[in-house]
Structure 1
Amino acid sequence: MSKNFREIFWQRRNHRFNERLKQYVRDKVIAKFKECGCDVFIQSFKKLPNQYNGINIIAVKNGLNRGKTGDEIILVGGHYDTVESSPGVDDNGSGMVAMLETARVLSSVQLKQTIMFVAFDLEEFGLLGSIAFVHDYLIPREIVKNGANFLGAFIIDMILRQEQAENSQKLPPKAVPNAAAQIRANQNRGDFVAVWSRRGVDTELWQSLSKSWSQLQNPFRFKLIEFDSPLPLTIPTADELRRYDTFTRSDHSSFWYHKNANYSSTLNAVLLTDMGRTVERRVKTLLS
């Protein structure tokens, strides 16, 4: 994994900074997915005022029922673009490296379910890549046309920062009291990855991840803590968005609150994140 950081995700991946560097990273990611035996293709989209082409990378590990009635899809995703001023090692080189490693580990395993790995573009410009993927590909092509059952998405966005020191992580308790209590009981250490969900909606995804995680034998694994936000099943009201907008600031929310009129159901998703270890500042609005 460290090799992928050094060779791929050490530089800015932003079209305003250097499009050739961004294309270099795309080519490397595509090659890595192909090495894992995935079918790989790109999804181009135009969403910016200057008509810059965004490019999502979609890699598919075919399940036993791929192309048949009853196919089930599990998605692992993360964005590969960065802001103009940052090399994006944590945001989101860490998520991309984790996704590539997941593809590598699963490459020798035959699964009943189809696994879809998606590297989203233009997350830093308003989640444009994941919005285009859900609206223009996932729903019309996989769910509506092919009749696939979408089981859920695991979105990875920043998982590199871990803090073992006491009082390195603080969280206002009002919005996610269970998570806040766990953190306080651990002397406010930031030695965990948060899993963001909607309370009572994405519970099954969280439980399946938590169960599998607890069975790992690696003693150095970090902890997972569920942040079960009070956001609703349907599109939030303006007041709910004002209070809990932090929980919609990554690609998972493109699944939660898609706007494709041909499919009325929400799409389950959870976000794995270290929150940049600045959560006390970022979620202060939760107390208002």
Structure 2
Amino acid sequence: MFHCPIRLLFVGALLVSTLFCTNGMAAQLPAADTAQLRRHLVALTTTPQPRNYLHEASLNQAADYIKAELAAAGAHPTEQSYQVQGRMYQNILSSFGPVDGPRLVIGAHYDVCGEQPGADDNGTGVAALLELARLLGHQPLTCRVDLVAYTLEEPPFFRTPQMGSYVHARSLHEAGVPVRGMIALEMLGYYDDRKNSQDYPFKPLRWLYGSRGNYVTVAQKFGNGRFGRRFARLYKKTAALPVKRFKAPAWLPGIDFSDHLNYWHFDYLAVLLTDTAFYRNKQYHEAADTVDRLDLRRLALAVDAVLATVVRLATE
């Protein structure tokens, strides 16, 4: 395999992008386990009712599972609870590495939209987060790494201060916590090698990125600073699957469709790691978003590259 960076200016969309085709696993790091990923996905998608904001018991069951897995990885998870419309919801917080100093934040939301299992959205993000915890627990880190599972990312709370990631980002801002950067894990398990399986916000982008949905995307906005560039470059060097960098104005549809937008709101640097969601996975927010439709091998490869990148960033 080879590296093939292409930098083009797409004037109509004011888009600068970089395509990375790469195949290079990081040496001397443990690999993500597809059996573990499947176990997490099954646990998250088989709650008595879908884990949406109306079903507090199912959300709490998912939260308890996440806490137990983080504790098993060697973390000391805590709850960040808050009230919305008379109901209590909670983010789950954990950390690895030193207590003090600047930190990296990696987050994924564990709620779903409506009455559906949410295997890709966002069971895969949470499964990736938990597998990262298991693997990070064995790594010597010189920078603190926070792993956060968010509640209430989905409608009707998306783009409101009730989002779990808004609550978390605000708490960091109010406490004056230095954050080197944030990584949102959002839908990482759906891939399709067929032609015309990938859509885009603007059709001409297909000429640049191709029509096959076989890659993972690092998305960031213009003006996102050195962290976004550094993360994307390290990620593409270690990933054993195609990686495409998508850098665009924040107003471009899809560029801020996850928890990272709330860190941008508080002037933290943040990126989105995704399989591009509804631009590829047509089961998005549907009952057919099930575990059997996912590619766990490529999900594991995406996790491997996150681990290698985070370890590098956290030991620099």
Q: TM-score range by the shorter chain?
A: 0.7 to 0.9
Q: Which has the higher contact order (CA 8 A, sep 6+)?
A: 2
Equivalent residue for 1:83?
113
Alignment partners' CA distance in 2, 1:44 and 1:95: 21
Structure 2 length-normalised TM: 0.69
Indicate the residue corresponding to 1:6 in structure 2: 42
The aligned counterpart of 2:22 is: none
Q: Is the 8 A contact 2:180 2:227 kept in 1?
A: no
- Structure 1, residues 74-127: CA drift from partner, whole Å, max 9, x if none? 011010011121111111000000111111111011100000001110001225
| 1:213 to partner: Cα distance | 4.0
Equivalent in the alignment of 2:257: 249
State the SS of the aligned residue for 2:184.
Answer: strand
Provide the residue aligned with 1:191 in structure 2. 214
- d(CA) in 1 for partners of 2:91, 2:215: 29
| Separation in 1, partners of 2:236, 2:38 | 22
Residue 18 (structure 2) aligns with? none
The within-5 A match list for 1:114-153 is 114-124=144-154, 125-127=157-159, 128-135=163-170, 137-141=171-175, 144=176, 148-153=177-182
Q: Which amino acid aligns with 1:201?
A: N
Q: Deviations over 1:129-180 (max 9, x none)?
A: 1111111x21123xx2xxx431101101111110100111132558xx8x65
Partner of residue 270, structure 1: 271
Which residue of 184, 199, 222 corresponds with 2:241? 222
Change (3 A) 1:40 1:172: closer
Alignment partner of 1:104 is 2:134: yes
**Contact (CA 8 Å) 2:111, 2:122: kept in 1 or not?**
yes
Select the residue among 56, 72, 75 that pairs with 1:19.
56
* SS of residue matched to 2:91: strand
Contact 2:190 2:281 in 1 (8 A): no
Aligned with 2:142: secondary structure? coil
Letter in 2 for 1:97: A
Indicate if the aligned counterparts of 1:197 and 1:206 stay in contact, CA closer than 8 A: no
CA pair 189-139 structure 1, distance change in 2 beyond 3 A: same
What's the offset of the Cα at 1:207? Answer: 3.0
Q: Say which SS state the counterpart of residue 272 (structure 2) adopts.
A: strand
Post-superposition offset of 1:248 = 2.2
1:224-249 deviations in whole A, cap 9, x for unaligned?
21110123xxxxxxxxx4xx253222
Q: Is the Cα–Cα contact under 8 Å of residues 224 and 269 in structure 2 kept in the other structure? A: yes
Equivalent position of 1:36 in the other structure: 73
Secondary structure (helix, strand or coil) at the match of 2:268 reads coil
Identity %: 26
Unpaired runs of 5+ in structure 2?
A: 1-36, 283-316
Q: Distance in 2 between matches of 1:212 and 1:226?
A: 10
What secondary structure, in the 3-state scheme, does the structure 2 residue paired with 1:83 have? coil
Q: Where do residues 52-91 of structure 1 align in structure 2 (5 Å cutoff)?
A: 52-63=87-98, 66-67=99-100, 71-91=101-121
Counterpart for residue 51 of structure 1: 86
Q: Which amino acid aligns with 1:204?
A: F
Give, in angstroms, the shift of residue 30 of structure 1. 0.2
Instruction: State the secondary structure of the residue aligned to 1:123.
Output: coil
Q: Which runs of 5+ in 1 are unaligned?
A: 232-240, 259-265, 282-288
CA distance in 2 between partners of 1:9 and 1:33 (Å): 18
Q: Number of residue pairs matched?
A: 239
1:200 CA drift (Å):
3.9
Tell me, yes or no, if the aligned pair for 1:78 and 1:120 is still in contact at 8 Å.
yes
